[in-house]
Amino acid sequence: MSAVAETIETVSAVTEGGYKWGFETDIETELAPKGLSEDTIRLISARKEEPEWLLAWRLKAFAAWQTMSEPHWARVEHAPIDYQDIHYYAAPKKKTPKTLEDVDPELLRTYEKLGIPLSERAALAGVEGGQVAVDAVFDSVSVATTFRATLAKAGVIFCPISEAVREHPELVRRYLGSVVPAGDNFFAALNSAVFTDGSFVFIPKGVRCPMELSTYFRINARSTGQFERTLIIAEAGSHVSYLEGCTAPMRDENQLHAAVVELVALDEAEIKYSTVQNWYPGDAEGRGGIYNFVTKRGACRGRKSKISWTQVETGSAITWKYPSCILQGEGSVGAFYSVALTNNRQQADTGTKMIHIGPNTTSTIVSKGISAGRSNNTYRGLVRIMPRAAHARNFTQCDSLLIGDRCGAHTVPYIESRNATAKVEHEATTSKIAEDQLFYCRSRGLSEEDAVTLIVNGFCREVLKELPMEFAVEAQKLLAVSLEGSVG
Amino acid sequence: MALLEIAGLEAEVEGKPILRGIDLAVPLGEVHAIMGPNGSGKSTLAYVLAGREGLRVTAGTVRFEGQDLLAMEPEARAAAGLFLAFQYPVELPGVGNANFLRTALNAVRRARSEPEVDALRFLKEARSALKRLSMADEMLRRNVNVGFSGGEKKRNEVFQMALLKPRLAILDETDSGLDIDALKIVAAGVNALRGPGFSALVITHYQRLLDHIVPDRVHVLTEGRIVRSGGPELAVSLEESGYAGLAAEAAAA
């Protein structure tokens, strides 16, 4: 109940407007020279002290990427990206810290400003309900991971992927690229060639992860791309809830973010993956902002395994992402809950793929698109029922809300069913915030902006309730801020 | 000075004149009824007072506690103590009734420089108001007006009014579509607010609501003008003679 009231407070608190995460951290950075070549990849691999097999894997991905071309089927438009004009590696100069006490105070202050506590003591002092362990990725490197000792006691591994490569090579080698192969698509191939850091999570058999895990991505350096890689493995009967958040400074250039996330759920394991994406969206005229080209995919390999993606996408100049589930295990369950909000000149083309392979697999898709300003918002989703997927079921609901009359909402569902016993349902609606609704709220004392926020939050309710509590509040605030200037 | 003073008010909708010169004063503490046939401008008057867009005021003034009401945004009017109970309450999908009401209450309280009400106190007040209106607590958990029956919507309006405690309530045909039991509940809700600091403008087509909310004054509106004013007995005589005679009278005048 307090959440909406808080949303309203937030709107009024940020009336000066803009993107409050847009500051820049002044820190000495080591940059790889601009450009992409085998040398760049060798440099990254050397910086990360990687084994030979991983360098070979990267080079193979790079070779594949060179034969591929950018996909252009999404409903987004942008100037050509010069892949040779990007720094593929940027890292704070100070040596990677061994303990939290060694983290550069400037970085700690940065995360404090972002509201991410990197001090375990502070996090413990502020405990309300649950603790959250954080992996903080700054440009190309992970700068801190909290609560590792507590997690280790439970047998959970939560560390930067670069460290996992050194400490748990057998796990990384077995699962890396097993869900999203190196040559899967243009951006996944690029990521496989140059990925720098990201999080690695391993939940052993039968373990319920004792706290929420989260990774906080921050792009700071100019003219860099961020190419993080996340790998989560949930062994049989285990359970994990993972959150990611992301922000970047305000810059008038476009910066590329091409991440890959792979999830593997074995028998009866459950992975709940939540994202609040708040990369810098560019200014009101569409200058600057992050190009967010992301491949996220989860494999429900085990019987009755479960993967759910929940995303709140408010940032980025362009969003191109389709978190998907491959439902292999019999009776496995996939879910996709999404809120995508675009304002000003933002473009989003997002949705999911639910690939039903095993029998009795079920999937649920709930997508809420909100378009304001001159933005364009597309839901693109595929539901594919393979011949063996007897009695598979899917339910899809796509709702679009338009604010103003200069924005666009598009729904592009693809349904392919190759098993006659499967049941696929699709519902879609498009609506505008009615003058009646606004007037009704205003006549009760709400300002026009508060009224829009309230109506939008109501529209997104089904998705927001899927988020862990702390994130739900954060997401509502974000929606309010992102809607600024969308009325009047 | 009256709480509400309307002088020479003219307004049009899509270029068509609807209000053709209304003069009306509602003193603090009084309940006035506005009666009239369909299309006489009753709802337009309610909307003009509440500040709905799409209506053009072409002449006249409206003062609320001495302030220029027409210059105020709808939310500022609410903060000043004006409340419109809608003839057709609007649905807000996904927005919980309790959320909506507490947000509205605190917005109004903030504007009045009053402290905000926390969730606990709000719930307590809301529950007792619901009880007085013979409404179930479940009402608070439901989404604003979504799936409500006609009667429930009207009662929800009166419930909102009870919590927001306006200085002036405008009830736009709140009786339409209500059975006699619901009508009594709604009337009791309004009567509970009556007192020296509360005024109401009760807009209705029928006299039956005025059996339960007995007005201090009755005004008859036809073709955008108030053609007659009187005590509660005027409503009774109208019930017998109908509006037709009055309209003829107005035309002759």
Per-residue pLDDT tens digits for B224-241: 999 999 998 888 888 777
Evaluate if residue B250 carries a pLDDT over 70: no
Confidence at residue B252, expressed as pLDDT on a 0 to 100 scale: 56
Chosen for mutation from A2, A397, A440 (greatest number of chain B CBs closer than 10 Å) is A440
Single-letter amino acid code for the residue at A362: T
Q: Do B108 and A445 touch (CB under 8 A)?
A: yes
Could you tell me the residue range of the domain that residue A167 belongs to? 32-321
d(CA A298, CA A354): 10
Please tell me which residue, A360 or B1, carries the higher pLDDT value: A360
pLDDT above 90 as % of chain B:
74
In this structure, is residue A474 part of a structural domain? Answer: no
Q: Does B73 touch chain A (CB under 8 A)?
A: yes
Which chain B residues touch A434 with a CB distance below 8 Å? 90
Q: Do B104 and A439 touch (CB under 8 A)?
A: no
SS3 A81: coil
Q: Do A446 and B119 touch (CB under 8 A)?
A: no
Name the CATH superfamily housing domain B4-252.
Answer: P-loop containing nucleotide triphosphate hydrolases (3.40.50.300)
Q: Does B79 touch chain A (CB under 8 A)?
A: yes
Query: A423: part of which helix (H) or strand (E)?
Result: strand A423-432
Using CB atoms, pick whichever of B75, B93, B102 lies closest to residue A5: B102
d(CA A334, CA A351): 13
Chosen for mutation from B49, B72, B103 (greatest number of chain A CBs closer than 10 Å) is B103
Q: For B93-139, what is each residue's pLDDT tens digit?
A: 999 999 999 999 999 999 989 999 998 999 999 999 999 888 888 88
Using CB atoms, pick whichever of A436, A448, A458 lies closest to residue B90: A436
Q: Does B147 touch chain A (CB under 8 A)?
A: no
Which chain A residues touch B107 with a CB distance below 8 Å? 8, 444-447, 450
Using CB atoms, pick whichever of B52, B104, B143 lies closest to residue A439: B52
Helices B119-132 and B180-193: crossing angle in degrees, nearest 10, is 130
d(CA A227, CA A64): 17
Per-residue pLDDT for chain A (488 aa), expressed as one digit of tens each?
333 334 333 333 333 346 767 777 777 777 788 889 999 999 999 988 999 999 999 999 999 999 999 999 989 888 888 999 988 888 777 655 556 666 677 777 776 766 666 655 544 443 333 566 777 777 766 666 778 888 999 999 999 899 999 999 999 999 999 999 999 999 999 999 999 888 999 999 999 998 888 888 777 776 777 898 999 999 999 999 998 887 766 767 788 889 999 999 999 999 999 998 888 888 888 888 888 999 999 999 999 999 999 999 888 889 999 999 999 999 999 999 999 999 889 999 999 999 999 999 999 999 999 998 899 999 999 999 999 999 999 999 999 999 888 899 999 999 999 999 999 999 998 888 888 999 999 999 999 888 988 999 899 988 888 887 767 777 777 787 777 766 64
Query: pTM of the entire structure?
Result: 0.83
Evaluate if residue B169 carries a pLDDT over 50: yes
User: Rounded to a whole number, what is the distance in Å from the CA of A143 to chain B's nearest CA?
Assistant: 40
In this structure, is residue A361 part of a structural domain? Answer: no
In this structure, is residue A229 part of a structural domain? Answer: yes
In this structure, is residue A432 part of a structural domain? Answer: no
Confidence at residue B222, expressed as pLDDT on a 0 to 100 scale: 93
Q: How many CB atoms are located within 10 Å of the residue A300 CB?
A: 32
Which chain A residues touch B77 with a CB distance below 8 Å? 443
d(CA A3, CA B199): 34
Q: Do B107 and A447 touch (CB under 8 A)?
A: yes
In this structure, is residue A488 part of a structural domain? Answer: no
Number of domains forming the structure of chain A: 1
Contact A277, A293 (CB under 8 A): no
Q: Give the mean model confidence (pLDDT) for residues B186-204.
A: 93
Contact A390, A407 (CB under 8 A): no
Pairing of strands A333-342, A212-218: unpaired
Q: Do B104 and A445 touch (CB under 8 A)?
A: yes
Q: How many CB atoms are located within 10 Å of the residue B253 CB?
A: 8
Q: For B34-52, what is each residue's pLDDT tens digit?
A: 999 888 999 999 999 999 9
- Listed in order, strand segments (DSSP E) in A151-198 are 157-160
ipTM of the complex: 0.95
d(CA A309, CA A440): 35
In this structure, is residue A459 part of a structural domain? Answer: no
In this structure, is residue A388 part of a structural domain? Answer: no
Using CB atoms, pick whichever of B73, B79, B103 lies closest to residue A454: B103
Residue whose entry in the numeric block shows the structure tokens 């970085």: A107
In this structure, is residue A71 part of a structural domain? Answer: yes
Q: Do A444 and B100 touch (CB under 8 A)?
A: yes
Closest alpha carbon to A5 in A485, A466, A457, A461: A457
Q: How many CB atoms are located within 10 Å of the residue B205 CB?
A: 16
Torsion of CA B48, B14, A450, A349, to 10 degrees: 170
Q: How confident is the model at residue B201 (pLDDT cuts 50, 70, 90)?
A: very high
Q: Does B250 touch chain A (CB under 8 A)?
A: no
User: Rounded to a whole number, what is the distance in Å from the CA of A347 to chain B's nearest CA?
Assistant: 26
d(CA A363, CA A393): 6
Helices (H) and strands (E) in chain A, counts: 13, 23
Instruction: Tell me which of A70-74, B181-185, B203-207, B242-246 is least confident.
Output: B242-246
Which chain A residues touch B106 with a CB distance below 8 Å? 5, 8
